[in-house]
């Protein structure tokens, strides 16, 4: 009963942030500080809800692994300091490491630049029974590469292929690949952690002022902040053109980390529950073998 209540609450919590038909989506309509009325006093409640969610998620992941039919791919995108790493660490803290794989995608290597833009991510897709997490992904090709055209020039594409249509073509290719994956048993959920510019500034200052967090800060982060408006336009366009019913985006308010983590956990729980996961049922022959094994063990 407790698990069912947790799953039902998760479904209701995640629903307002789900984007499946993005043509009319506007990033400005999502408040990065949104907490659905919980306010500052909601933090203790969120902590308890997250603990219950982690327990439910662990149970669902165990069935996913045992059933060995579905794979789940979780994609995380965000501006710097939005909290991707912390969200992944907290939400997935109860999951069996054997059933979870995390890949972080930074600047592409020379080998990766000699392949198509999807290659380095697609070779890291999760196996059946496992949850794969992409910390950044092929969506960087419609975000940072769009904001910084010089990065596109390094990809050595034939000049005739680099036209004004390249972004719409990449959106089309991504939708096609995600549709293909869905038809082959890979469930996809995508998360954009929507942090405000003011909150990013506060977190950057915290990283500078706290010696234990100095390593998290890079001057490149500051340089990227100068392109904030262009990034917001790129994210909005990307979400509009790649949000589908089968592979939805969740635009998650990220100014309050406790709320962000609660929403992400809720969305993952809802996704896994929708798969109707069950432990494999044994046939008569297998049950007979188990009975024989039990008799042998008891007799020793």
Q: What is the CATH number of the domain that holds 257?
A: 3.40.50.300
Domain count, the chain: 1
Average pLDDT over residues 43-55: 88
Distance CA 258, CA 210 (A): 21
Residue 3 has pLDDT above 80, yes or no: no
Distance CA 86, CA 203 (A): 13
Residue 42 has pLDDT above 80, yes or no: no
Residue 43 has pLDDT above 90, yes or no: no
* Between 64 and 4, residue with greater pLDDT: 64
Structure tokens at 151: 């990065």
Average pLDDT over residues 89-105: 93
Residue 27 in contact with residue 237, Cβ under 8 Å? no
Pick from 117, 101, 211: nearest CA to 166: 117
Average pLDDT over residues 144-164: 95
Q: Are strands 18-19 and 249-253 parallel, antiparallel or unpaired?
A: antiparallel
Distance CA 21, CA 169 (A): 18
Percent of the chain residues past pLDDT 70, beyond the cut: 98
Average pLDDT over residues 94-98: 89
- pLDDT of amino acid 105: 96
pLDDT band at 152 (very low <50, low <70, confident <90, very high): very high
Q: Name the residue range of residue 7's domain.
A: 2-298
Q: What is the pTM of this model?
A: 0.94
Widest Cα–Cα separation across the chain: 76
Within 81-183, strands assigned E span 100-104, 131-135
- pLDDT of amino acid 232: 98
pLDDT band at 124 (very low <50, low <70, confident <90, very high): very high
Average pLDDT over residues 116-140: 97
pLDDT band at 86 (very low <50, low <70, confident <90, very high): very high
Residue 11 in contact with residue 267, Cβ under 8 Å? no
User: Among 126-135, 213-222, 258-267, which is the least confidently predicted range?
Assistant: 213-222
pLDDT band at 69 (very low <50, low <70, confident <90, very high): very high
Residue 1 has pLDDT above 90, yes or no: no
Distance CA 283, CA 240 (A): 47
Distance CA 84, CA 61 (A): 21
pLDDT digits (tens, 9 = 90+) for 263-281: 999 999 999 999 999 999 8
- pLDDT of amino acid 300: 64
pLDDT band at 110 (very low <50, low <70, confident <90, very high): very high
What stretches of 128-165 show up as alpha helix (H) in DSSP?
144-147, 149-153
Structure tokens at 22: 């993005």
pLDDT band at 78 (very low <50, low <70, confident <90, very high): very high
């Amino acid at each position: 009963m407790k698990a069912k209540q947790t799953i039902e609450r998760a479904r209701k919590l995640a629903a307002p942030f789900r984007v499946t038909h993005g043509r009319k989506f506007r990033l400005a309509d999502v408040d990065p500080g949104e907490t659905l009325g919980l306010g500052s006093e909601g933090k203790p409640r969120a902590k308890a809800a997250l603990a219950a969610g982690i327990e439910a998620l662990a149970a669902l992941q165990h069935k996913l692994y045992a059933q060995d039919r579905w794979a789940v791919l979780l994609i995380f995108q965000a501006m710097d300091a939005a909290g991707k790493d912390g969200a992944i660490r907290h939400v997935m803290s109860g999951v069996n490491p054997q059933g979870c794989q995390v890949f972080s995608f930074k600047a592409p290597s020379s080998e990766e630049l000699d392949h198509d833009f999807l290659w380095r991510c697609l070779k890291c897709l999760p196996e059946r029974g496992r949850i794969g997490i992409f910390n950044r992904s092929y969506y960087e090709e419609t975000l940072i590469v769009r904001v910084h055209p010089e990065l596109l020039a390094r990809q050595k594409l034939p000049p005739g292929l680099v036209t004004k249509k390249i972004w719409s073509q990449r959106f089309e290719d991504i939708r096609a690949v995600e549709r293909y994956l869905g038809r082959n048993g890979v469930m996809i959920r995508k998360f954009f952690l929507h942090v405000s510019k003011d909150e990013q500034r506060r977190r950057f200052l915290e990283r500078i002022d706290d010696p234990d967090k100095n390593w998290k800060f890079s001057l490149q982060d500051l340089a990227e902040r100068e392109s904030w408006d262009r990034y917001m336009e790129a994210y909005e366009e990307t979400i509009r053109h790649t949000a589908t019913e089968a592979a939805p985006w969740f635009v998650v308010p990220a100014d309050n980390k406790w709320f962000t983590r609660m929403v992400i956990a809720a969305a993952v729980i809802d996704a896994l529950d929708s798969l109707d996961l069950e432990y494999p049922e044994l046939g008569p022959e297998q049950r007979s073998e188990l009975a024989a094994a039990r008799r042998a063990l008891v007799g020793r």
